[in-house]
Chain A
Amino acid sequence: MNKNLNKIIGSLYISCLFMMGCGTDDTQTVATFNTLVAEDNFDVDGQINTSFWNFDIGDGSEQGIPGWGNNELQFYTDRPENVTVENGFLLITVREEDFNGAQYTSARLQTKGKIQQRYGRFEARIRLPFGQGMWPAFWLLGDDSDGSIWPQIGEIDIMENTGDAPTEIFGTVHGPGYSGENSISKAYTLEDNRVDTGFHVYGIEWGPDYINYYVDNVLYYQITPEDVDEETDGEGEWVFNDRQFYIILNLAVGGNLPGSPNAETVFPQTMVVDYVRVYEFTNAN
């Protein structure tokens, strides 16, 4: 009896998944990432934990990608006006000001060489800004210390939002054969809720041959090598089993994706991060 019931429930569950279909075959692989290996809860006011974070400074020119590759309008700084910790939150603040030839300043933090790993659960609890031109992101880039270059190193965008769509975020992967405008992406719309009025948890569970995307308690997207094959007619290469990835948090303004701010866009505005956590892949149980 019990077994039969389980079978029935099991098949019901599978058919539900098929009905919600979001790609190839939605038999999602779910692992348990129960070992916390790194976290920043932003507990020390006025200090960015530099054993965790590096700052990316400038407009991308020094890195050889002016406008950070997307014609973005901001100049990133490490000034407290643009990035600080207050009351247990990381504040990344975009300001409208003339600064080193740019119209806006903001901040971008990353963990290259400090916090990086292959696979795991990466999540952050964030409240986003709003308005045309805002482009906050929580994302991962592959370690390029072996001399590989993007998109070969891979990019996993855990959460991106454009401020003109305050109820919607999207998760994306970039790799060889599916980068930039041809990246593979899915949007998720919050139910009767917004990204700028409260905190939401944005995360991925990433293991061999899959990346699962979730917002709060909702798993909304799984991407696998089969999806990449299908989206790219077999041209794309799965590069997410190869190397360690590091974390980036930034608030961009303007550029190819969101477009420029307009007269109604409010400045300054702040992306508020409660925590960033990284869990490890374990095979316990």
Chain B
Amino acid sequence: MKMKNIKHIDLKTICSLTLVLVILSSCERDLSDEAVFATFPNTAEIFTDSPVGLTDEFFTSFDPALGANPEAFGTDDNVAYEGNSSIRIDVPAPNDPNGSFVGGIFLDRGAGRDLTGYTALSFWARGSITATIGLVGFGTDFEDNKFAVERSNIQLSTDWRKYIVPIPDPSKLVQERGMFIFSAGGLDIIDSVPNGNEIGYTFWIDELRFEDLGTIAQLRPAIFSGEDLIEQGFVGSTRLITDLGATFNASNGEDITVGPAPGYFDFSSSNTNVAFVNELGLIEIVGEGTTTITGQLNGVLAEGSLNLEVLGSFVGAETPPVRDPADVISIFSDAYANVNNLNLAVFNDANVQIQTQNFNGDRIVTYDNLGFVGLGWDGTNNVSDMTHLHIDVQLSSSTNPALTVELIDFGADNSDGGGDDTGGGFTIPSSELTEGAWVGIDIPINAFTQPTGGGFSGSPNLNNIARVVLVSNGSSFIVDNIYFYRE
């Protein structure tokens, strides 16, 4: 009984003490000294002569269903940079029945590591040939990948060479499970196109660890590849901040650029009544006006920005009329059944920015700074019985617009090239194009008489249509409802 009483009093006392503490500290939101975070081991080593503190499976492959080859990974007791063993990766040939590339991650076997005291991942590697490993990095855990960092295309030597992947902001890595990620495919010495002529090779990795290097410095972060973009947006739509980078200078004077996950950045919007950005870099447009989106990494302002002009909510193009399915061959429209596997840019110029957006089921595509873009799909279509091609366009740039629509027919062989391809274009009168307003253009099927930018002479065959091409002078457009029909 006595004991219970005492306990009771103690609790009361503690409660009131806590209250006092809360009141005393309530004027500042800093954490009190009593608040101590759980800490995690800061083990630096990942692989020396054996895996250090990794999960039992050690290597977790990318999905074999996507072509990853889980058999290509192992260790080698005959090769080592230091000690007596190294990681050995046998990069497969493209036709390897076990998978055409090798890649995956190493996970910490515990709850994660505290890597805040390190500045880089480092390892030694050598190759059987001077191939290029497509990707190395850390922070990928096959869950949120919140602090993933990727370094692309490191060139192997046939002798051991040290490689580093700088940590963009070590203070973020209080509990990281993703210790290492890599991905490698065959070496292409013929045409640099992934077309099956690549050859396999072997590379070895040793002394894989995190390090506190005093020689990595001069962080220069970037968003949107360092470009200052100007775009128009609509209330209710979203836009991802893309092309994140962090460039460091290494001890040998070389610049190293890594691709950090959005979680490393602090993004901001200069006018949160227009748009705000979340920690994943997703911009949500909420009101009319203009705002500038910027980012910081470890206190350093990133090069690149997005100036967003929001004029209002999106107004869709006029809904196409109901038609007999036999009277329509639709490329891109929510009103009809479309061709299969439409690719909104089978080919395009280097400057065009392409984006699709969905407003309550109305999917549109924007082509900003359009030079040319080709839309393609599975197979070809006979449109010779159709009377028109319809396209809805809204000009979203202001000066001297130009827009030509071209058709390309693949000919009887139904394939690109082969000598029987034809094509022709129709230029929409620029007087028809009005900034900010949808116009529906109905082009007679026999009106594609102009020579094309790709060298066809005009008036294409219509039995095997495979591409619709849009050609402009750098103007910007919103496009919807591209379909052939007959009256």
Contacts and interface: CB of A to CB of B under 8 A. Distances in A.
Given A130-B218, A264-B255, A266-B220, A166 B213 contact: no
A196 B253 contact: no
A166 B220 contact: no
Nearest to A264: B255
B217 interface: yes
Interface string A174-202: 00000000000000000011101100000
A130, A165, A166, A193: most-surrounded residue (chain B CB, <10 A):
A166
A131 B251 CA distance: 11
A196 B214 CA distance: 11
B307 interface: no
B215, B252, B253: most-surrounded residue (chain A CB, <10 A):
B253
B215 A193 contact: yes
Contacts of B215: 166-167, 192-194
Contact of B249 (A166, A192, A193): A166
Interface in B228-272: 249, 251-253, 255
Interface in B187-222: 213-215, 217-218, 220
A193 B214 contact: yes
A132 interface: yes
B300 to A, nearest CB: 12
B253 A165 contact: yes
A194 B252 CA distance: 10
B217 A192 contact: no
A40 interface: no
B253 to A, nearest CB: 4
Contacts of A132: 253
Contacts of A254: none
A197 B253 contact: no
Contacts of B214: 192-194, 197
B122 to A, nearest CB: 13
B257 to A, nearest CB: 10
Interface residues on B, range: 10 to 19
Contacts of A165: 252-253
Interface residues of A, number: 15
A192 B253 contact: no
A166 B255 contact: no
Interface string A132-166: 10000000000000000000000000000001111
B213 A131 contact: no
A167 B218 contact: no
Contacts, number: 36
Contacts of B251: 166-167, 194
Interface in B59-103: none
A193 B214 CA distance: 5
A164 B218 contact: no
A264 B213 CA distance: 22
A163 B218 CA distance: 12
Nearest to B257: A264
Interface string B5-26: 0000000000000000000000
B156 to A, nearest CB: 23
Contact of A197 (B217, B220, B252, B255): B217
A196 B219 CA distance: 12
A131 B248 CA distance: 11
B453 to A, nearest CB: 31
A96 to B, nearest CB: 16
Contacts of B255: 264
B220 A192 contact: no
A130 B220 CA distance: 13
Contacts of B218: 130, 196-197, 266
A197 B218 CA distance: 8
A195 to B, nearest CB: 10
B354 to A, nearest CB: 27
A197 B216 CA distance: 9
A98 to B, nearest CB: 23
Nearest to A129: B218
Contacts of A193: 214-215
A130 B219 CA distance: 12
A194 B217 contact: yes
Interface in B169-198: none
Contacts of B213: 192
A167 to B, nearest CB: 5
B471 to A, nearest CB: 32
Contact of A196 (B217, B220, B252): B217
A191 to B, nearest CB: 8
Nearest to A265: B255
Nearest to A189: B251
A164 B252 CA distance: 7
Contacts of A194: 214-215, 217, 251
A192 B255 CA distance: 17
Contacts of B217: 130, 166, 194, 196-197
Contacts of A131: 249, 253
Interface in A22-52: none
A83 B212 CA distance: 35
Given A192-B213, A193-B215, A194-B214, A164 B220 contact: no
Interface string A262-279: 001010000000000000
Interface string A110-135: 00000000000000000000111000
A184 B252 CA distance: 24
A193 B215 CA distance: 5
A194 B255 CA distance: 14
A74 to B, nearest CB: 20
15 contacts: A130-B217, A130-B218, A130-B253, A166-B217, A166-B249, A166-B251, A166-B253, A167-B251, A192-B213, A193-B214, A196-B249, A197-B217, A264-B255, A266-B218, A266-B220
Given A166-B251, A166-B253, 15 more contacts: A130-B218, A131-B253, A132-B253, A164-B253, A165-B253, A166-B215, A166-B249, A167-B251, A193-B214, A194-B215, A194-B217, A194-B251, A196-B249, A266-B218, A266-B220
Interface of A: 130-132, 163-167, 192-194, 196-197, 264, 266
- 10 A-B pairs closest in CB distance: A164-B253, A192-B214, A197-B217, A193-B214, A167-B251, A264-B255, A165-B253, A194-B217, A194-B215, A166-B253
